[in-house]
Every structure is written in structure tokens, then in C-alpha cells.
Amino acid sequence: MFITLEGPDGSGKSIQVPALAEFVRQLGYDVLTTREPGGTSIGDQIREVIMSMKNKSMNPRTEILLFCAARAQIVSEVIRPQLEKGVVVISDRYADSTLAYQGYGHGLDLKVLRGILDFATGGLTPDLTLLLDVDVETGLSRRQQGGGEWNRLDDYALAFHRRVRDGYLELAAAEPQRWVRIDASQAPQIVQQLMQEAVLRRLRPKV
């Protein structure tokens, strides 16, 4: 089973991943967690280029191709082989991030993006996508206070982040069988519990 976590910046996805992985392990499954961009040696090098504050002149098309290049690598090197072995893979961001950020955020054609994504992933789609939804102001103030490194992408204007969030809501509404929206402005333990409930509805405990 392939589970992805999506959400605007500061939605708190990353802190939820270890607990969710542990929960799935308790159900009796082998679990692998990954994050995007990055997650492989080649992907981490691409991540550096994408995130660097030195690269402020990066064209949105360049950005897409770099995200998708990193994704092609992690899908073939890690995600597919693990899924084939029966491992539950939990990815912090995946293809929907490209639709939300580059598509809705930067206004690039969604149909074209879907074609590029399909090429990069070989058509691999998540079985379950958890949308950790938070309004833009809350998300960005969490990012600023969180102590994590401020990167080039956080620097985009507020209006950009609003379009990203609205894009996520639209993507989730269009495919309700795959997406579960969780209100991530709630306390982290509650968010985690809702995530676990969503997983339990699709994954039968083995033990």
C-alpha cells in the first residue's frame, strides 16, 4: 500500500510521519518512509539545487523538471521495489505536490503537468493521500517559528501559498475515494489519531 501525505507549508506533515509509520508497523506491516524532494542520493543532490537561496532566478519549468527528476529516481530506486515486496510506503509529499505548487501555485497547465508526472512515475498513484490542511497564515507562521531552515520556496508570496492550499482542496474534492482531508490546525495528537483512523479504514491489521 502506498500512502502519501500532502499539505501546504507548515501543515505539520513531517512531524506526523514517524508516529504514523510506527502505527502501521503495529498493525503487522513492514513500513518504509520517504520524503520528497529527496529520499535518494541523486534526489538529495537535486533537492539542494531546488531549495538553494542562490537559485532565485529558477524558472518554474526548470523547477518542475527537477522535482519530477527526483521523483523518477525515488519511484524506480525505492518506492516500486518496496511496494512489490509488500512493504507499506509512506511518502512525505508526492506527485500531488507538483499539481498543487507548480500547477495551482504557478499556474502551469495541469494537463501538461499530469503528462510529465505520468512519465516520471510510470503511472504510480497512491492508494491513500492524507491532506493535512491548514490555512496559509497559520502554516507560514509555523514555518517561521519552527526553527527549520527557511528555503527559497517558502519565500514565495502569500497569494502563491493561498493558491496552493485551494488547489489541494480542489484535488481532494475531485478524487474523494483517494483523499482524506484532515484539519491540521488541531493539536498534533488529534491530527495523528485522524490519520490513523483513515489508514485503518483501508488497511486490515495483520496481527
Task: Name the residues that contact ligand TYD, by CB under 6 A.
Answer: 9, 13-14, 36-37, 67, 93, 97-98, 101-102, 151, 153
Write the DSSP assignment of 102-147 as a string of letters. IIIIT---HHHHHHHHHHHHTT---SEEEEEE--HHHHHHHHHHS-
- Nearest distance from residue 130's CB to ligand TYD, in Å? 13
CB closer to ligand TYD out of 23 and 94: 94
Q: Which residues pair with residue 5 across a beta bridge?
A: 92, 130
- The least CB distance from residue 25 to ligand TYD, in Å, is 22
Grid cell 517558502 is found at 154
Tell me whether residue 88 or residue 161 sits nearer to ligand TYD (CB atom): 161
Per-residue burial over 17-56, b if 16 or more Cβ lie within 10 Å, else e, is bebbbebbeebebebbbbbbbbbbeebeebbebbbeeeee
Least Å distance, CB 23 to ligand TYD, is: 20
Minimum separation from the CB atom of position 164 to ligand TYD (A):
8
Residue 2 vs 29, nearer CB to ligand TYD? 2
* Nearer to ligand TYD (CB atom), residue 78 or residue 203: 78
Q: Cell for 128?
A: 491513500
CB of 46 to ligand TYD, least distance (A): 11
Reference 74, options 45, 43, 118, 117; nearest CA is: 43
Q: Which is nearer to ligand TYD, 151 or 196 (CB)?
A: 151
Q: Determine phi and psi for 6, rounding to 5 degrees.
A: -130, 165
Task: Return the residue nearest ligand TYD (CB atom).
Answer: 101
